[in-house]
Structure 1
Amino acid sequence: MSDILGENIWVFIGLTLILTGGCAFLMGQAIAGTWRPYLQVVPYSLLLAATNRFLSFALFGEQLLAIVPYLVAVGVVLGFASFGFRLTRADQMVHQYPWLYARRGLLGWREIGSDT
């Protein structure tokens, strides 16, 4: 497991999931909150995952240039950022255009009058 994560499981949970994942969630919300397109989440996620790898290296002595742990961090960051983006965008659509859209679940919206 340490080969895939590139770090101790507790470091992964604390640093990658809690700290970096929380930052990624807020990043996704900030991008959606300013009505930017989803594609801007991707480069910011790559940078945040690189920051996560650097913090693992600097604070816990983990390997810096490891591709698999970086890709795992990118997946975690992109997942949290996408969730934050979609949650905020659904809220925006429903509150900005209440005559057009109604809430459909946590992450979605539907047109009013549409049965699908």
Structure 2
Amino acid sequence: MTEILGSSLGVFIGLTVVLAGGCGFMMGQAIAATWRPYWNVIPYSLLLAASERFLAYALFKEQLLALIPFLVSAAVIFGLATLGFRLTLVDLMVHQYPWLYERTGLFGWRSKQQVP
């Protein structure tokens, strides 16, 4: 398990999921709130995963240049950043254009029906 996560389960949950994942979620919200395109999530997630691996190395004496733990961290951060991006984008579309769009669940919106 430590070969995949790069650390113990507690360190992975605390550092990767809670700290870096929370930052990734806020990063996705910030990207959506400034109307930037979705592909901006990818490079920022990789940078945040690299900084998370450095914190794991500096604080918990983990291996710095380990590919599999980096990819796992990047996937967790990317997933939470995508969640934040989508939730914020739906909220923006529904609240800024209430005459055009209505919410269709947590992750989507649709055009309102035009009344003749």
TM-score bracket relative to the smaller structure: over 0.9
Aligned position for 2:16: 16
Give me the TM-score of the superposition, normalised by structure 1: 0.96
The list of structure 1 runs, each at least 4 consecutive aligned residues, that deviate by more than 2 angstroms after superposition, is none
Q: Which residue of 1 aligns with 2:39?
A: 39
Residues 1:109 and 2:109 aligned together: yes
Report % sequence identity: 64
Q: Residue 113 of structure 1: CA displacement?
A: 1.6
Counterpart residue number, 1:90: 90
| Paired residue secondary structure (2:106) | coil
- Which 5+ residue runs of structure 2 have no aligned equivalent? none
Secondary structure of the 2:110 match is strand
CA shift at 1:17, angstroms?
Answer: 0.4
Instruction: Please state how far the C-alpha of 1:54 moved relative to its aligned partner.
Output: 0.4
Q: Which residue does 2:29 correspond to in 1? A: 29
Q: How many residues are treated as equivalent by the alignment?
A: 114
